[in-house]
Amino acid sequence: MAHTGQLTEIPLIEAGRGGALPSMEAAGDRLGGILDNARRRYGPTALRAGDALSRRWLAKAGNPYLAEIEAVAARLGRPGAYMLNLSYEWGCTTGAGPDPGGAGNRMLRTLDWPLDGLGRALVVAHHEGTAGDWFSATWPGFSGVTTAMAPGRFSAAINQPPMRWTTPLMALDWVRNRLGIWQAGGLPPVHLLRKVFDHCTTYAEAKARIESEPVCLPAFFTLSGMEPEESCAVERLESRAAVREGAVSTANHWICLAVPGRARGTDSRGRFARMEAVRNTAGDDFTWVTPPVFNDATRVAAVANARTGTFIVQGWEAEGPVSEIFRLRPDPA
């Protein structure tokens, strides 16, 4: 897809074991731009209220990343850090299967989030966990993980399932879902995936933790390992999981579990069908990011292969690509 305007660079930020704070310190202007857009979209009152409620929930739940988010908020000096770290209003399309171009298993991924500026603000953070190094496509100050690759271990991403449908009104369902999060004791799914990348040494260990550790709300996880056959999609409820093994695609609708819900994102079933069609043959150059996988809310596209250490990332906005392509490996000769 053709792009318009100047392409920005995606910086590689050495985060070490510092979590979200090093990316905030290195690229805080990018986070400021995101929050400027969030302030225009939601209003300053909503940002302040969202911050207050999000911090109270993190403290009540004993969240292990609260101190890290507090440090980001203090460094930022304005509302929005807590709310950004607990925002899950996005859609995604993900596929994983044998890499058609070589060894190992490959993950293809787009993330859709209807907040302008996220594609331009994208960074790649290099983290050091107890289990080894890993790389995350993320934003300054964001403590969780939505899309990442750990060389020699695995790649993984999160998609959102439909919002639970319990009332005739979508707004009331949104409130009831948020109240459910307040009452739940598990981790946010993005923080569970952070723990997985920090502490799991193998695909099998990562899969077991994703399947079993309690989460505070439903989520879809896609996991891609070292061997061609090592991939799966895990559909999670708070304390229950269903797993699809082998080459898989995931969008934003349930496949294994029958949970009534309101659709997220644009044309989930169409995006799923498109990923099924391209997953096993597409190149690593993002020519596969076409409608409906690409839509007005697409902000990130990524390709990951843990066996080869490949992590290719590009930022997108409604008009198309807005960043240069970040490549963890050099272009082939």
**What's this model's pTM, rounded to 2 decimal places?**
0.91
Q: What pLDDT, on a 0 to 100 scale, did the predictor assign at position 45?
A: 86
3-state secondary structure of 42: helix
Q: What is the pLDDT of residue 89?
A: 64
Per DSSP, the residues of 238-292 read SS-EEEEESSEEE-SS-SSS---EE--SS-HHHHHHHHHHHTTT--SSSTT--TT
The CATH class of 12-19+90-327 is alpha beta
How would you classify residue 192: left for phi > 0, otherwise alpha for psi between -120 and 50, otherwise beta? alpha
The rounded distance, in Å, linking the Cα atoms of 172 and 73 is: 30
pLDDT at residue 133, rounded to an integer: 97
pLDDT along the chain (333 residues), means of 10: 74 96 92 86 82 86 93 90 80 95 94 92 97 97 97 96 61 48 76 98 98 93 98 94 98 90 84 97 95 96 97 97 90 43
Over the stretch 195-238, which tens digit does the pLDDT of each residue have?
Answer: 999 999 999 999 999 999 999 889 999 999 999 999 999 999 98
Q: What pLDDT is stored for residue 332 in this prediction?
A: 45
Token digits of residue 245 = 């093994």
Domain ranges (residues) in the chain: 12-19+90-327
pLDDT tens digits along 225-276: 999 999 999 999 988 999 999 999 999 999 999 887 777 788 999 999 999 9
Strands of the chain (E only): list them.
Answer: 12-16, 91-98, 105-112, 123-129, 132-138, 147-150, 154-159, 163-164, 219-224, 231-236, 241-245, 248-250, 261-262, 298-305, 310-317, 320-321, 326-327
pLDDT score recorded for residue 90? 72
- Assess contact for 218 and 257: CB atoms under 8 A: no
